Structure 1
């Protein structure tokens, strides 16, 4: 077991009664932490259960894509059961995870911003340092698994660009002051618990909880020319105007009409 991810040490700091989580496990390898926690949710796993893997053999990204999970990264999933939050607000868990990542990146001296809905951009070039995949667990009432993959160690040369050609990077590649994965895992989970807790306490209201305002402060998408790749091969090109209280991205298309987008791959278009 990698001593940088000491499960007992993390439990001592993060699991009740000393911390906000119900359970936390670290495994050497698994196919997908999201898939494992979705199965656990169906079997009755508690709210705020955490699974961390040193490596994933079949990590999943958006639309079923393979999620590259080389050793040296931080791969974790958290099961949330946010009772009292309207189902339409659950997509905010994906954006809240992004805010937690920004807080962690900035705590280690790295410039960070967010590409809606699920990418952490690092460094002056705005390269992809982390991805997020949140999934509402089928057949399990009010259960959402939030998966996060954060690149920590220097990336191997053969890591492929993200969809849309977004270049990959890591905390080490952009000169982070802290690379200990145990400490990074603690900071990330602590920030995630704080943000999710305030959001949940406010019934999932992104305005009252402050998460919408904080997200807009760190958005690399709002104000940019974008192309949104939608289901069925459709595309929407225009300028990202704002993010709505339900987490929807509003894009003013080339037709001058505002379009609400709840899901899709966003490509930032460089000025001509």
Structure 2
């Protein structure tokens, strides 16, 4: 989709929303907003923010809570999530932070399929896990009008000035810690200015629009070239590649857990995993834990 054919963007900001995704979808389905145009809804806080798989999203003031609606006439697939993650990782603010961090600091990138952050270098002594430092999360939802798919709403939450305080309950069993842009800036060798929220709204909406355009291009004549570009861009930002993973709660693995080394993604957006015996499998879904390879070097499957 060229810039000339990109629908105009209408932005509305509110002090509080129950959920920017839910509010935007409801307005579109009620016919209050034009489904042929792009719409951006941002909020200072959310009282019922949502993450993936029905999880909650804490929404203290000072952070980004943004939902972009984009019309879409091609079928949805999981590859869109990967494209979005790659585009967000390439935003100026992420590149600025990576350039300013110490040379030995792990790069901020994409955790399959689309969370933004990085993994801590040292494993937790109690669990043996390398915890993901989560900076941003993404929630993609289809929009139906008169029983027809008319577009998608992409919700993005970015911890900017405030780090959500996670408890055992609010972490929801996932092996991650919350981190903010300000936390990262505080640890830089040389200080830089924190970004203003309006500037981040612009960076995010531009990145999301580019992602949808690239996804639409997959259905065009240049599919192979576009597909290769997507895989290359994701690989450049992939924070899992080469790490030892434990995958569980996957429909493909029934009730089992499997361990292997991450080897990027395939053309369908599935996570490639190299098992201890050299077999390579692809996984469509599953909970990911990054584990200490020395403690699990001989394991590849657990019941």
TM-score over 0.5 (shorter chain): yes
User: Of 249, 253, 268, which aligns to 1:246?
Assistant: 268
1:58 and 1:66 in contact (8 A); partners too = yes
1:161 and 1:168 in contact (8 A); partners too = no
Alignment of 1:146-165 (within 5 A): 146-155=154-163, 157=165, 161=171, 163-165=173-175
Structure 2: give runs of 5+ residues left out of the alignment: 99-106, 122-131, 186-191, 295-303
The equivalent residue for 2:179 is 169
Q: Measured at CA, do residues 253 and 68 of structure 1 come closer, stay the same or move farther in structure 2, by a change above 3 Å?
A: farther
User: Of 84, 102, 107, which aligns to 2:89?
Assistant: 102
**Cα separation, 1, equivalents of 2:174 and 2:59:** 19
**Cα separation, 1, equivalents of 2:267 and 2:37:** 24
1:41 and 1:143 in contact (8 A); partners too = no
| TM-score, normalisation: structure 2 | 0.72
More divergent stretch after superposition (202-211 vs 34-43): 202-211
Aligned partner of residue 163 in structure 2, secondary structure: coil
More divergent stretch after superposition (42-51 vs 158-167): 158-167
The equivalent residue for 2:103 is none
Q: Measured at CA, do residues 107 and 250 of structure 1 come closer, stay the same or move farther in structure 2, by a change above 3 Å?
A: closer
More divergent stretch after superposition (91-100 vs 184-193): 91-100
Q: Measured at CA, do residues 108 and 194 of structure 1 come closer, stay the same or move farther in structure 2, by a change above 3 Å?
A: same
Q: Measured at CA, do residues 156 and 77 of structure 1 come closer, stay the same or move farther in structure 2, by a change above 3 Å?
A: closer
More divergent stretch after superposition (30-39 vs 236-245): 236-245
| TM-score, normalisation: structure 1 | 0.79
Alignment of 1:14-29 (within 5 A): 21-29=8-16
The equivalent residue for 1:54 is 44
* Stretches (4+) displaced over 6 A: none
Q: Measured at CA, do residues 223 and 20 of structure 1 come closer, stay the same or move farther in structure 2, by a change above 3 Å?
A: farther
CA root-mean-square deviation = 2.9
Aligned residues: 253
